[in-house]
Amino acid sequence: MKDLNGKVCVITGAGGGLGRELAMACARRRMKLVLADVEAGNLETTRTLIQQELPGTYIVTQQVDVSKFEQVATLAQLAVQRCGGVHLLFNNAGVGVTAPIWENTVSDWHWVTNVNLYGVAWGVKAFTPIMLDQGEGHIVNIASAAGWMYSAGSGIYNATKAAVVALSESLANDLKMANSAVGVSVLSPAFFPTGIIETERNRPAEFADAAADSEMKRQYEECVRRAVEAGKISAREIAEITLKGVEENRFYLFPHAWVPGVIALRSKQAQEGMTAFNPQS
């Protein structure tokens, strides 16, 4: 989708981090914005920041829990009603937990899977038919380098992001079989400064049973925090890389250039078949 000027984009998780920067990048391309987040206050902050930099940008906001299909479907209806269609969708909302995988609770599994996997699935289900009817559109699913290589301490997150890669490849192949012009990209960044380490504040009460504190859990949390804070590429840079990928109709988007090389090493070790690949080794 080379010309984004005047087109409509929908972004989940737009209240901060990468979602906010994606919104800014789309606004700079003079797109109409439909922004969603579970935190209404942060969503309004995003709106204010965009309007300060780019007055006149058309913005619609909606508080949405992407784990609820009905809310995502309502967001799709809102976009069509207010903007006449949807041309670009970013399934961006995500959360994470850290702990040895045997210490993760059932609630940990439900919460992270509901947001990271079902949130993407519901976006695909709600918005793809709109794009098919239009005869154009592009869907960007936010995975992670963790969808390709699986460090200790983030088992649930890793599993959900690997599933997003699989879902995205499946979607792209389904669309090819349908002879559709709708495009797909899967974005797989490594660590970068973002609010993913603070997502516990949005954990629903029904899934409040988190993994108990332990020495291993504390070590994992500290490792993730340091890695996020030390990220060399900013959310704004990743957003620009992503939009350029959409404009070039690229499927695999790796903002961190070293990630494909590590994936190749993983493939080589898989062929040898002796031990699980460890990206931290």
Considering the domain boundaries, does residue 86 fall inside one?
A: yes
Q: What is the pLDDT of residues 198-249, one digit of tens each?
A: 778 888 999 998 888 888 888 877 777 777 777 789 999 999 999 999 999 9
Considering the domain boundaries, does residue 281 fall inside one?
A: no
**Active-site residue set:** 157
User: Can you give the CATH number for the domain in which 189 is found?
Assistant: 3.40.50.720
Q: Which pLDDT does position 220 carry in this prediction?
A: 74
Q: Which pLDDT does position 222 carry in this prediction?
A: 79
Q: What is the pLDDT of residues 203-215, one digit of tens each?
A: 899 999 888 888 8
Q: How many domains does the chain have?
A: 1
pTM, two decimals, is 0.94
Considering the domain boundaries, does residue 268 fall inside one?
A: yes
Three-state SS string over the chain comes to CCCCCCCEEEECCCCCHHHHHHHHHHHHCCCEEEEEECCHHHHHHHHHHHHHHCCCCCEEEEECCCCCHHHHHHHHHHHHHHHCCCCEEEECCCCCCCECCCCCCHHHHHHHHHHHHHHHHHHHHHHHHHHHHHCCCEEEEECCHHHCCCCCCEHHHHHHHHHHHHHHHHHHHHHHHCCCCCEEEEECCCCCCCCHHHHHHHCCHHHCCCCCCCHHHHHHHHHHHHHHHCCCCCHHHHHHHHHHHHHCCCCEECCCCCHHHHHHHHHHHHHHCCCCCCCCC
Residue with the larger pLDDT of the pair 32 and 204: 32
Considering the domain boundaries, does residue 177 fall inside one?
A: yes
Q: Which pLDDT does position 200 carry in this prediction?
A: 84
Residue with the larger pLDDT of the pair 193 and 33: 33
Considering the domain boundaries, does residue 91 fall inside one?
A: yes
